[in-house]
Amino acid sequence: MTLELLYVGDNRETIEKLVSTADVSVCVVETPDDALNRLAVAPFDALVVSDTVSDITTFLSRVDIHPSSLPIVVETESATTLPAGVYDEAVPPAAVDQLTDVVDALVSDATSPAGTRDDSRVSLGDGGVSTHNVGTPSFAEGVGNRTFANAVVRGLPDVLFLADLDGNLLRWNDRLNAVTGYTDSEIRSSTPSEFFQDGLDVREKVTEMREDTDIRFTADLVTRDGSVIPYELTASLVDCGGEQYICGVGRDITERREAEQQLDEAVEELEESNTELEQFAYVASHDMKEPLRMVSSYLELLERRYGDELDGDAQEFIDFAVEGSERMREMINGLLAYSRVGRQTRDFERIDVGDVLDTAQSNLRIAIEESGAVVEAGELPTVHGDPGQLTQLFQNLVANAIKYTDEGRPRITVSAAREGDEWTFTVSDDGIGIPESRQESIFEIFSGEGGQSGSGIGLAICEKIVDHHGGRIWVESDGESGTTFHFTIPDVGQLGDEGTL
């Protein structure tokens, strides 16, 4: 096999030996620009660069390695003057035999299957040649050599690029070509700002990178055919050979942006649906009160006028009808209360929860006196919220505790504890408990709270109030005796003094 080499430099002895070496075809150029032009139009097995080439580090960083890894060998007396990672191997000047051996090994390594690959590398030691084998510490330390790194870079699904501080692209992977549709020479002659719809202020980004370890931002990339692709870019400054460069990775976020848009649309539709549902519930329940009042009135009139003439069955039927209309009235009132929670837009204010609980107990005074209930409360905090809604929240929970106690005096305990940036409130009772099978559904509207009679709206209202305040509510019960409700409200110390959550 004839090796196709591109030699950059002016060492006449090396050139003459390469030209006269069998199975070697060499193209000789003297400047980096000439080398880049040749690489753009013709394939080579390897690039050989004399260390006499001016600004060799920048040149090696700009070498086009597409579409496959191009082995780079540097002709130098001492490799220690060059930064690691910009070349594969080094050989002494005019050591053509060593040079061809090195190139043979690199080309074989780059093209052989993993199972048959020659895992040795030849590199310049103290004026001589040494071998580094895969798996040894010396090779592990040198695994950043360019051939290995290029193989890793080519496998990335994201765009990877290296640019100078002026934004000139020096190196990139094949993904940039595939995404933009531009050739290597077109990319090389462009700046990052030209690839983005709204441009890109490179100097501004460099300043941000100097202030932070790395930066992340989104930008719309424009392809050759005018397509716009949203990208998320992460970039940072790296040092190489005493110079700073911009190293960046770009990821196509089309799917993520579409998912976010779909989510936003779904949330908007859900909010509109909820608003319409609340409006419907309010209007429907409000309008149903009048015909229901008429039914109840005529039932009472029927009972007053003809009660003495009715037999036992007829009187029982009327009692059932009156009871049903009363339950319907309770459900309508509950539905109105439920719909009002979402319709109210009152600004939140600082509220002493102790005062809120006192108001709730005052509203329940008759039920508390008749049942002999005892409500004990620990020290309660100040929170940010709607006083009317929070009063209704405690009133519903205390009323439930009284309602679902079969024997003895109900004992209800209210407490609060701060956990992180929120307050967790607890309302416990010693009532009949809630079966585990019903604990997940009790906050659903018309759930029949706890399996007993009732409108089934009280706990649904509690959940809606807590949600409106940015918290969550849950229940604990062994299903036989006692129930504990927990709910959270953000700590007033974490919020402003005005506005709703």
Q: How far is Cα 373 from Cα 367, in angstroms, rounded to an integer? A: 8
Nearest to 255 by CA among 359, 180, 381, 157: 157
The CB-side HSE value for 455 (13 A sphere, CA atoms) comes to 21
DSSP summary character for residue 360: H
For residue 473, pLDDT over 90 is answered with: yes
Average pLDDT of the residues in 42-70? 74
- State the pLDDT at residue 175: 84
Q: How far is Cα 286 from Cα 290, in angstroms, rounded to an integer? A: 8
For 93-116, write each residue's pLDDT tens digit.
888 888 888 888 777 665 544 433
Nearest to 456 by CA among 471, 445, 440, 441: 445
Give the SS3 label for residue 140: helix
Sorted by where each begins, the domain ranges of the chain are 4-62, 270-339, 349-490
Give the SS3 label for residue 75: strand
For residue 152, pLDDT over 50 is answered with: yes
For 211-253, write each residue's pLDDT tens digit.
777 888 888 988 989 899 999 988 888 876 567 888 888 899 9
What is the rounded average pLDDT for all residues in the chain?
Answer: 78
Question: Is 299 within 8 Å of 318 (Cβ atoms)?
Answer: yes
pTM, rounded to two decimals: 0.46
Q: How far is Cα 350 from Cα 295, in angstroms, rounded to an integer? A: 44
- State the pLDDT at residue 109: 61
**Residue 87 pLDDT class (50, 70, 90 cuts):** confident
Nearest to 427 by CA among 378, 385, 491: 378
Secondary structure of 370-434 in the HEC alphabet? HHCCEEEECCCCEEEECHHHHHHHHHHHHHHHHHCCCCCCCEEEEEEEEECCEEEEEEEECCCCC
**Residue 136 pLDDT class (50, 70, 90 cuts):** very low
Residue with the bigger pLDDT between 61 and 238: it is 238
Name the CA dihedral angle for 11, 12, 16, 21, rounded to a multiple of 10 degrees.
-10
* Maximum mean pLDDT: which of 70-84, 386-400, 440-454: 386-400
**Residue 360 pLDDT class (50, 70, 90 cuts):** very high
For residue 407, pLDDT over 90 is answered with: no
Question: Is 110 within 8 Å of 89 (Cβ atoms)?
Answer: no
Q: What percent of the chain shows pLDDT beyond 90? A: 18
For 480-498, write each residue's pLDDT tens digit.
778 999 999 998 655 444 4
Please name the helix (run of DSSP H) or strand (run of DSSP E) that holds residue 262, with its range, or none. Answer: helix 254-306
Its CATH class, for the domain covering 349-490, is: alpha beta
For 290-315, write each residue's pLDDT tens digit.
788 888 888 888 888 887 888 888 88
CA distances in angstroms from 69 to 3, 4, 103, listed in the order given: 15, 14, 13
Q: How far is Cα 164 from Cα 185, in angstroms, rounded to an integer? A: 17
Average pLDDT of the residues in 157-175? 81
Omega of the bond leading into 67 within 30 degrees of 0 (cis)? yes
